[in-house]
Copies of this chain bind each other. A is one copy, B any other.
Amino acid sequence: MLSFSDCHTIIENHLKQIDFAGKEPAKLYQPISYILSLGGKRIRPVSALLACNLFTEDVTPAIKPAIAIEIFHNFTLVHDDIMDNAALRRNKQTVHAKWNQNIAILSGDAMQIVAYQILCDTDAKLLKPLLDIFNNTAIEVCEGQQFDMDFSMDDHVSLEDYIRMIELKTSVLLATSLKVGALCGDAPLEEANKLYEFGRSLGLAFQIKDDYLDVYANQDLFGKTVGGDIAENKKTFLLIKALELAKGQHADILQRALKNEYADITEKVEIVRKVYNELSIPQITCDTIAQFSDRAFCWLDSLTIPDEKKMNLREMARELMEREK
């Protein structure tokens, strides 16, 4: 049985074998090498291999689909970074900052095609089902990104809309990774769908945890500046829930924050965090994370395979939930 770390090694080795670096035109391919070399947890492709490994010893059939998903994910990062005007990713320059915007648009486009090329290099009987799942998910990820951009201009986002947005933007690709991995391991469709649901709930818990850490992480461990989302008025689970609950002075403070009436960012973060605390937002958020992660574990439990095989996916989920950054 392969561990997370075993799978991570397989993925890194395969990513290294795809040699874009020498290809022409260099300005199209170098950014692809660059973004893929920035590393990261590789949760999606590793999940695919772990899911495959639940049903078969040899995870080889899942490797290319897993790599395709990772390349697709990195394509979305390159384009999202342009849209968010982000200068840094994983403490390195973003593609548009290192090269320029046009190069980032075009190399992102090429990555999307490369993802399909690699996905298509799969077993004939799996080709159509994998493409159908991948296509649907890819378009959902775009929908999620557009909803996210829409929400940044809208101060009346409901929690339901927010959950749907993060489901599209984050969860479905993790869910798809697991389902695709399972199908590559010859899993029955019903079992693969349970893994999809596991991933969907886990992805929601993961994203809300992300929102939580941005406000409540230990700064020494976090990596980014704690409070960044509050500074930027980002529509997170915490802000939307707070806007829903706030009355009187609390509501006034949140509105002033949204209108950027606090010139001092440190003060803004402090005062909004105080409102969150007084409205029990940390507790409500942690409860919601727990609800979604419990739901994820239920789906994992429901798989009709020996329990010990589920250990690695359970461990991965637990680590994602307990992370401090």
Listed in ascending order, the chain A residues whose CB lies under 8 Å from chain B are: 24-25, 27-28, 79, 82-83, 102-103, 105-106, 108-110, 112-114, 116-117, 120, 124, 127-128, 131-132, 135-136, 138-139, 142-143, 145-147, 149-150
In the complex, the answer to whether B117 meets A79 with C-beta atoms within 8 Å is: no
CB distance from A58 to the nearest CB of B (A): 23
* Given A27-B146, A150-B25: A139 in contact with B127 (beta carbons within 8 A): no
Interface centre among A82, A132, A135 (most CB of B within 10 A): A135
Cβ-closest chain B residue relative to A117: B135
Q: In the bound complex, what is the Cα–Cα distance between A146 and B136 (angstroms)?
A: 29
Across the interface, A28 reaches (CB within 8 A) one of B25, B110, B138, B143, namely B143
Residues of B within 8 A of A28 (CB): 142-143, 146
Residues of B within 8 A of A124 (CB): 128
* Given A27-B146, A135-B120, A139-B117: A106 in contact with B127 (beta carbons within 8 A): no
Across the interface, A146 reaches (CB within 8 A) one of B106, B108, B149, namely B106
In the complex, the answer to whether B114 meets A149 with C-beta atoms within 8 Å is: no
Across the interface, A142 reaches (CB within 8 A) one of B113, B142, B150, namely B113
Across the interface, A105 reaches (CB within 8 A) one of B27, B83, B110, namely B83
Residues of B within 8 A of A143 (CB): 24-25, 28, 110
In the complex, the answer to whether A120 meets B128 with C-beta atoms within 8 Å is: yes
Q: In the bound complex, what is the Cα–Cα distance between A147 and B103 (angstroms)?
A: 11
Query: SS class of chain A's interface: helix, strand, loop or mixed?
Result: helix
Residues of B within 8 A of A117 (CB): 135-136, 139
In the complex, the answer to whether B106 meets A147 with C-beta atoms within 8 Å is: no
Residues of B within 8 A of A128 (CB): 120, 124, 127
In the complex, the answer to whether A142 meets B102 with C-beta atoms within 8 Å is: no
Residues of B within 8 A of A79 (CB): 105-106, 109
Cβ-closest chain B residue relative to A82: B105
Residues of B within 8 A of A82 (CB): 102, 105
CB distance from A18 to the nearest CB of B (A): 13
In the complex, the answer to whether A114 meets B132 with C-beta atoms within 8 Å is: no
Residues of B within 8 A of A131 (CB): 116, 120, 127, 131
Residues of B within 8 A of A102 (CB): 82-83, 149
Q: In the bound complex, what is the Cα–Cα distance between A103 and B139 (angstroms)?
A: 14
In the complex, the answer to whether B139 meets A113 with C-beta atoms within 8 Å is: yes
In the complex, the answer to whether B106 meets A135 with C-beta atoms within 8 Å is: no
Q: In the bound complex, what is the Cα–Cα distance between A142 and B28 (angstroms)?
A: 8
In the complex, the answer to whether B106 meets A109 with C-beta atoms within 8 Å is: no
Across the interface, A27 reaches (CB within 8 A) one of B108, B109, B127, B150, namely B150
Interchain residue pairs A-B with the least CB separation, the first 3: A28-B146, A25-B146, A110-B142
* Given A79-B105, A102-B83, A105-B82: A138 in contact with B150 (beta carbons within 8 A): no
In the complex, the answer to whether B116 meets A135 with C-beta atoms within 8 Å is: yes
Residues of B within 8 A of A116 (CB): 116, 131, 135, 138
CB distance from A102 to the nearest CB of B (A): 4
Interface centre among A27, A105, A127 (most CB of B within 10 A): A105
* Given A105-B105, A146-B25, A149-B102: A139 in contact with B120 (beta carbons within 8 A): no
